[in-house]
Amino acid sequence: MKPRLLHFTYVWICCSVFLAALCLPVAAVVLNAQGDSGPVHGLWVWKSPEVLSAPGGAESLLDFCKSQGINEVYVSIAARSEAAEESQLAHLIGLLHRSKIRAEALLSSADADEPGKHRDTLLEHVRVILEFNRKHPRERFDGIHLDVEPQQRPENKGPGNLRFVPGLADAFRAVRALAEPAGMTVNADIQNKLLKGDVSERKMLLSAVPRVTLMMYELSSPGDGDTPEQQAEKAEKSSQIFIEMAYEGLGDDRKLAKMAIALRTPDYGALLPQMLKKLDDANGANPHYLGWARHSYNDHLNAAH
């Protein structure tokens, strides 16, 4: 190849790569920046219209995330946002993305494990998020975060009552089928009751989505008389036990979901950041461990007031 032609080819390739990078959605850049380089540090935000409509609400949330090492936020979403709420969400996501913090749309249901209108309603909520992303390509949600809790219904209460697991896994898969082709991750909140299922039930659940978040609540309380060291030890050991329970007998299947461990403010008060750090210290080397999540930003706001 002649030198001039070689030089032209080199310049053309460089320009093509540069232009392709510019065309990537902001969310993809954020997701790659997080990647698997470190554990997830998540935060729930409920009643998002109320939080974001407060003066400087989005900026205050961002400041909190930075101060607490949060790298992804789960923002509660109604089925149909008013135009003002949509603008507020886009503003928040833009702020988060510029600080390399992911944003997931938090969708709730107590009945979506049941096929028919309840599951259809959840899937319609997902489609609303997909439409939001199409309208806001630079302020798009990076993922869907599911808070589906069929165990709250009376017929599903009681130890060992896991008859709802197949329907729950079907709901997870249905959401995933919509979200992943659109470049979004899916994370699902689960309770420790679900880890007590047999091998087939746990495999069904953990193969339905790529990420799950275990709600490890009510281990401690600020007035239980335990020292911070005792509370931390309890959190560490319990997290290790629950992760072992989840994957026992499932082999080295890399298609199974990774698990984050969630703690909540009422159980630890001001000690919560210290307890969350202990989770990373105790489980960081475990290939099944995704990271931690804290519940919730609203507790922080209530305490501040």
* Confidence at residue 80, expressed as pLDDT on a 0 to 100 scale: 61
Beta strand pairing call for 258-264 and 211-215: parallel
Mean pLDDT of 148-169: 94
Which of 106, 105, 31 is closest to 71 using CA atoms? 31
Residue 110 — φ and ψ, nearest 5°?
-105, -5
Residues whose CB falls within 8 Å of the CB of residue 160, separated by 6 or more in sequence, listed in order:
196
| Calpha distance 53→49 (Å, rounded) | 6
Q: Which residue has the higher pLDDT, 4 or 183?
A: 183
| Calpha distance 236→86 (Å, rounded) | 39
- Residue 94: strand, helix, or coil: helix
pLDDT by residue (tens digit) across 272-290? 999 999 999 999 999 999 9
* Confidence at residue 163, expressed as pLDDT on a 0 to 100 scale: 95
**Separation in Å, CA 126 to CA 2, 25, 92:** 54, 19, 19
* Confidence at residue 81, expressed as pLDDT on a 0 to 100 scale: 58
Mean pLDDT of 155-166: 93
Which amino acid, residue 282?
A: A
Which of 165, 92, 178 is closest to 129 using CA atoms? 178
Judge whether residue 50 has pLDDT over 80. Answer: yes
pLDDT by residue (tens digit) across 94-106? 999 999 999 999 9
pLDDT band at 83 (very low <50, low <70, confident <90, very high): low
Range in 1-5, 130-134, 206-210, 233-237 the model is least confident about: 1-5
Structure tokens at 9: 């080819």
Range in 1-10, 153-162, 179-188, 220-229 the model is least confident about: 1-10
Range in 6-10, 59-63, 91-95 the model is least confident about: 6-10
Judge whether residue 224 has pLDDT over 70. Answer: yes
Structure tokens at 12: 């053309």
* Confidence at residue 209, expressed as pLDDT on a 0 to 100 scale: 98
Judge whether residue 34 has pLDDT over 50. Answer: no
- Where exactly are the structural domains of the chain? 42-304
Peptide bond into 296 cis (omega under 30): yes
* Confidence at residue 245, expressed as pLDDT on a 0 to 100 scale: 97
- Residue 116: strand, helix, or coil: coil
Q: Which residue has the higher pLDDT, 95 or 254?
A: 95
**Separation in Å, CA 238 to CA 190, 194, 217, 219:** 15, 15, 11, 8
Residue 164 DSSP label? T
Q: Which residue has the tokens 């009751």?
A: 193
Mean confidence (pLDDT) of the chain? 89
Domain covering 42-304 assigned CATH 3.20.20.80 in the classification: yes
* Confidence at residue 240, expressed as pLDDT on a 0 to 100 scale: 98
* Confidence at residue 11, expressed as pLDDT on a 0 to 100 scale: 40
Q: Which residue has the tokens 């959401």?
A: 175
pLDDT band at 37 (very low <50, low <70, confident <90, very high): low
* Confidence at residue 79, expressed as pLDDT on a 0 to 100 scale: 63
pLDDT by residue (tens digit) across 162-191? 999 999 999 999 999 999 999 999 999 999
CA 170 to chain centre: 19
| Calpha distance 178→174 (Å, rounded) | 7
Q: Which residue has the higher pLDDT, 200 or 4?
A: 200
* Confidence at residue 24, expressed as pLDDT on a 0 to 100 scale: 40
Which of 230, 245, 241, 239 is closest to 280 using CA atoms? 239
* Confidence at residue 16, expressed as pLDDT on a 0 to 100 scale: 44
What is the percent of the chain with per-residue pLDDT over 90, rounded to a whole number? Answer: 80
With b for 16 or more beta-carbon neighbours within 10 A and e for fewer, the 123-148 pattern comes to bebbebbbebbeebeebbbbbbbbbb
* Confidence at residue 159, expressed as pLDDT on a 0 to 100 scale: 84
Judge whether residue 76 has pLDDT over 50. Answer: yes
Prediction pTM value: 0.88
